[in-house]
Amino acid sequence: MSHWRRLRWALALLFAVLVVGTVGYVAFGFGLVDAMYQTVTTVATVGFREVQPLSTGGKFFTMALILVGVSSTLYAFSVLIETLIEGRLQDALGRRRMERSIGSMQDHVVICGWGRVGRSIASEVEEAGRALVVIDNVPERLADCPYPTVEGDATEDAVLAAAGIDRASSLIAAVDADAANSFIILSARSLRPDLFIVARARGVDSEEKLRRAGADRVVNPQHIGGARMAAFVLRPHVADFVDVVMHDRNLEFRLEEVRIGPSSPVVGKTLRDAQVRDRTGALILAVRPAEGDLRTNPSPDTAIDAGDLLIAIGTESELRALATLVGT
């Protein structure tokens, strides 16, 4: 039985004793107020005299009430103290364990905001096998969060530091106010200039402002939702294929991004000379230079430089071979 349930039973028992004692003294000729007063003083063992002389039956009733009432009072008081102490102790120990867990994380994702969008993001991040920390300033929302959490305002440097922002790989500002997301971006960028930041935008007008604040990517859920719904109407099979490749972990083929390492043997070569497809089986769909825009459907003569990002599709073994080839 949980502590809170035991406390409810103890208080209910004490209340029942007080009711029975009051009814009993009324039966012995006491007025209602005098009966309540006599019951409370008897159960509390304060030592006041009887309100009025007791008969033999009243004396036996008072002795029984003292035994049961004092036991019930002591039990309720002990359960109350135990619940308060253990509850605080468990909260403190749980917080310490969570702080140690966050302190040991490396390259994790910090999610600011535990609403509907934040929950969806966390599910995707967890499914991808990445560690994450959730920040929210509403304790009730964090009560059912199954991930490590930090309670507080994500715009404050101390809260971001508690979430391990100095060791994080990325941050997602997903609270429901664009102004708050802007302040989160500014705070995170000042602490970690190299941090990859993705921001949620509620309005189209806010997207450019969030980019100017320092967001690497800005996502408008309403805009993306509308585009996806239109895609299901206009190109339903293409939309299904993209969904399956991106999100179905049981599918043989999947999309992945691979960064070219500085000492990769393919640096300075073209896709044709590197024989990426022949040696790994993975198909290169796009190349993003370290400083430049995404190049889709790259030609075989596309040069590969250190820091470039390859967008590829293939089986898990093929993508693993690609990562090994390029030195990731």
CATH number for the domain spanning 77: value is 1.10.287.70
| Secondary structure letter of residue 292 according to DSSP | S
Across 69-78, 107-116, 142-151, 225-234, the highest mean pLDDT is recorded for: 107-116
Q: What is the pLDDT of residue 277?
A: 84
CATH of the domain at 320: 3.30.70.1450
From start to end of 16-101, where are the E strands? none
47 belongs to a structural domain: yes
Burial 38-47 (b: 16+ CB within 10 A, else e): bbeebbeeee
Q: What is the pLDDT of residue 193?
A: 94
Q: What is the mean pLDDT of residues 174-197?
A: 93
Q: What is the pLDDT of residue 315?
A: 83
152 plus 205 within the same structural domain: yes
Q: What rounded mean pLDDT belongs to the chain? A: 85
224 belongs to a structural domain: no
Q: What is the mean pLDDT of residues 56-67?
A: 86
238 belongs to a structural domain: no
* pLDDT range class, residue 185, cuts 50, 70, 90: very high
25 belongs to a structural domain: yes
* pLDDT range class, residue 174, cuts 50, 70, 90: very high
31 belongs to a structural domain: yes
CATH of the domain at 176: 3.40.50.720
145 plus 176 within the same structural domain: yes
pLDDT tens column, 124-155: 899 888 999 999 998 888 888 899 999 999 99
Q: Is the pLDDT of residue 163 over 80?
A: yes
Q: Is the pLDDT of residue 87 over 80?
A: no
Q: Which residues contact 54 (CB under 8 A, 6 or more apart)?
A: 28, 62
- Token pair listed for 305: 């430089």
Q: What is the pLDDT of residue 153?
A: 93
Q: Check: CB of residue 312 under 8 Å from CB of residue 325.
A: no
Lowest mean pLDDT among 62-76, 83-97, 244-258: 83-97
Lowest mean pLDDT among 46-55, 225-234, 253-262: 46-55
From start to end of the chain, where are the E strands? 109-112, 132-136, 149-151, 170-173, 196-200, 217-219, 253-259, 283-288, 295-296, 309-315
- In angstroms, the CA 73 to CA 244 distance is 63
Count how many domains the chain has.
3
90 plus 139 within the same structural domain: no
Alpha-carbon torsion, ordered 13, 19, 20, 23, to 10 deg: 180
Q: What is the pLDDT of residue 162?
A: 92
Q: Check: CB of residue 160 under 8 Å from CB of residue 134.
A: no
Residue 150 has a CB neighbour count (10 Å cut-off) of: 24
pLDDT tens column, 260-311: 888 888 888 888 888 888 888 888 889 988 777 888 888 888 888 888 889 8
Q: Which residue has the tokens 């102004």?
A: 179
* pLDDT range class, residue 89, cuts 50, 70, 90: low
Q: Check: CB of residue 86 under 8 Å from CB of residue 3.
A: yes
- In angstroms, the CA 95 to CA 54 distance is 56
- In angstroms, the CA 86 to CA 96 distance is 15
Q: Check: CB of residue 38 under 8 Å from CB of residue 24.
A: no
Domain with 43, as residue range(s), is 3-101
Lowest mean pLDDT among 66-80, 163-177, 244-258, 281-295: 244-258
Q: Is the pLDDT of residue 11 over 80?
A: yes
